[in-house]
Each structure stands twice: as C-alpha cells, then as structure tokens.
Amino acid sequence: MAEAFKHLISPAVVATIGAHLQRVWPLVDRTGFEARALHGLDALELKARVMQVARALVATLPADVDRAAGILEATLGPAGGGDDLSQLRCSDAGLAGWPVWPLTEAIALLAAAHHPERGLRALHAMTQRLTAEFAIRPFIVRHPAVSLAALTRWVADPSAHVRRLVTEGSRPRLPWGLRLQALVEDPSPTLPLPRAPQDDPSPYVRRSVANHLNDIAKDHPALIAQWLADHLPGAPAERRALLRHASRSLVKAGDAPVLAAWGLGAIYRGEVALALSPTTLAVGDTLALQVDLRSTGRQPQRLAIDYAVHHVKAGGHTTPKAEPRVGRPSRACQWRNPSRAADPAPPALPP
C-alpha cells in the first residue's frame, strides 16, 4: 500500500531541516524548532503539516527578515537542472525537494507583508529546488506591481523552474493555491506574461502557460478566443499543442469563437448514428460506443467529436461531463460519402 501523501513532510524531514539550519546557523534553537514543528504533526494532512513547519521556522529564525531569508537560502542544496525536480533529494550540501516547501511558506509569512523584494529574491532561489508557486501568491495579492515586475523579468531567466513560476504562480485559479480573485475578475495585468513562454523551449514551461490560459478561459472565454486569433495562425507545432490544451475547456463547451479559431464549428452536413453495447451495465463493465457519421456534403468537413457522460449524483439528478474526443479523422474514423466513389479524408484536427 502506498504511503500517505502527508508523509512527504515527516519527523525525519523536520529533523533534516533542523540539521541544515544548525549547519548554517550554529546558534539556532534546533530543539525548540523541532518541538514546534512536530507538535501534533501526525494528525495533520500535508498542507497543514507544511504550514506548521513554516510557522515553526518563523518562530525560530531572527526577526530581521533579510537575515532570516539569508539563513533559509543558505540551507539550500544545488539548484535542479533540466525540467524535472522530482528526483532532487536532500544531501550534505543542503535541502532540495519536498523539504523546501515549508521554507517557501516561511518566506511568505516573513516577507509578503512588508518586504516583497527580499521575499521574491528568496523564492527565486527556492523554486529551483521545489516550486514556489503557492508561496508567491500572497506577494501577488499584497504587492501586485512589485510582483508583476519581478515575474516580467523572470520570463527570460536561465532556469526553466523560474520561468515556469512566472505563469504557474500567477494562475488565477491554481489548485491548492490561494485564489487570485482580482485576476479572476480581470486577468489583463498578467496577460503579457504568457506571450514569450508559449514558445519556451521547455515543455514543462509550456504546459504551465497552457494551464494559465485555461484558467482564464473559465471566466473570460472571449480573451482566449482573441488569443487564439492572434497566436494560432502560422504557429509551430509546439505552440499549436499548447493552445489546444489551453482552449480544451472551451472546445468541449462548444464555444463558437474558439471553434472558429480552430477552423471548426460549421454546421455538420450529414447523418449520425450512435450505438451503445450493452445498454445496461454493472460496476466494472465496459461500454462500447460506435458512432457512424455519413457526410452528405460535397466538401471535406472538419469536425470535433466529443461525447458526454451523464453522471448520476447523490440526489438522483444527472450532470453531463464531456469526455475526450471520440476520434480523429487521421486515426480512427472511416469517411464515406454516398455521392462519391472515393472521398478523401478531411484535414486532421489540430494536433
């Protein structure tokens, strides 16, 4: 059985943080820090554990924010290279990986209110050992101008982890993160941020850009339709894939301007037949769907084909959820036109 996620912050992790604090700051009250961090830890879930350790750090570190941030920075191990931080581990050289999460939150507690520049500098270092996407959000809320200026500079940072923080940390609706309500209501202050990273050489960064744009799509579909109109024509394959991911919710919802941007949305000319087998299922059974489309038009038609499953809720009502696309003309569909002996396949849907 897999170990519970909350154990990513464990007594052993607390001891490791304490050891590295003592390494760089011999006067630390390590015993006091560990006692605060471990108090009732077993009953807490992951996020609560992170915050308890962060508060223990704040209670232990010097009151001077610059000095406290410098101590935390000194505990860090070597920065991660490439796109993947998941293999980073603590070593004699310093902290890396999950133990860095409480450090980022400690920086938010220490610096977000009155020392944004110093706090952001520390998060720039920490996010290269473990993402600071959650800890940066209080800075954006309290000091939007200072934070956006830093994020704008970081778009060109040599580290992919810093570049990813630009769009991931400023997502309006980041899961698990503080909602940036001002940006939910008006995302225009951050709209310049994804422009350059949408062509970033790192897929890791581009995925974050797609998620950022998809967040905006939930509240401002017209902005994403305009983004597609501006950035899709002539786009390289990597950007097309990013924009498809960014607009996935709106494509499923049948948003007309977004469909039009992808060359979709015209009225289908043809016949449709759907067959389900079996029609009654038990838990664990498999349902086969067969969709037959018979074109009656004389020109190739470009289609997006989805299906919706109506899930039964606790109250007995059903809620539809659009599932992944049924098929792509270049992969899974056979195209037949009764008015023509041989009908070429329509162009493939966006990759």
Query: What are the DSSP calls for 190-258, one per residue?
Result: GTTTTTTGGG-S-HHHHHHHHHHHHHHHHH-HHHHHHHHHHHSTT--HHHHHHHHHHTHHHHHTT-HHH
Encoded tokens for 200: 């970033």
Encoded tokens for 193: 């941020």
**Residue 330, pLDDT score:** 39
SS3 content of the chain, % helix, strand, coil (to 5): 45, 10, 45
**Residue 278, pLDDT score:** 92
pLDDT in tens, 113-135: 999 999 999 999 999 999 999 99
**Residues whose CB falls within 8 Å of the CB of residue 295, separated by 6 or more in sequence, listed in order:** 269, 270, 301, 335, 336, 337, 343
**Residue 268, pLDDT score:** 87
**96 near 129, Cβ under 8 Å?**
yes
CA–CA dist 143, 113 (Å, integer): 8
Residue ranges in the chain whose pLDDT is less than 50? 1, 326-351
